[in-house]
Amino acid sequence: MKSPQHIQIEGIENDKSLLDRPDVQKELYSQTGSQQIYPDKYVLGVIRNFYEDTQLPFELDYIFQMNNTTIYELTKVTIRGCINNQTKFHTKLWQGYNHLAIIEFDRKSPKIFDVLKPYNERERWDPVLVLCKSNDSERCKESIRNGLDKHEEFMKENNYERWKVLKQEEEEYKRKNK
């Protein structure tokens, strides 16, 4: 069975000046039917796409923390566009690629986003958020848990020394961030 489709948000970009670019504004005006962009309704997030190649805009409605799936929020999220290398603006997500995505909320940014750090300040064990559709959320959570478990088993069996180092780093991170 094909694994459920989802998008991981690994970090954010605090500089929202990219929303002021004429090409970005023209596309947002076209998609929303509005001549006003409210920056507090947008987040620029570094995402990894696990959907098939997808034309934007694209709506999702469920957000959860990857490392603690009991922390979640139901809210409408629309991915409006992407900027690659801070130069090329486009309205397509390519499967498996990282993108700097323009993410819009139906209200201001949800509290769950407060756990994200700026991408360039991110540490290995910092929280990652997952976006998916609510009707697929349980399958998505299970698939991610199974994938993480399989990866850990693989590392433990095939690269035990590296696995020990990663476990120590993870425990140290948890102690430091309690």
What tens digit of pLDDT does each residue of 98-136 get? 789 999 988 777 888 888 887 778 777 678 889 999 999
What is the per-residue pLDDT across 70-107, written as a single tens digit (0 to 9) for each? 889 999 999 999 988 778 899 988 876 778 999 998 87
Residues 174 and 172: their CA atoms lie apart, in Å, by 5
Domain ranges of the chain: 7-135, 139-176
| pTM for this predicted structure | 0.82
What is the per-residue pLDDT across 36-66, written as a single tens digit (0 to 9) for each? 888 888 999 888 766 778 889 989 999 998 8
The DSSP element (H or E) to which 31 belongs, if any, is: helix 22-32
Cα angle for residues 139, 66, 128 (degrees, 5° grid): 140
More confident residue, 166 or 131: 131
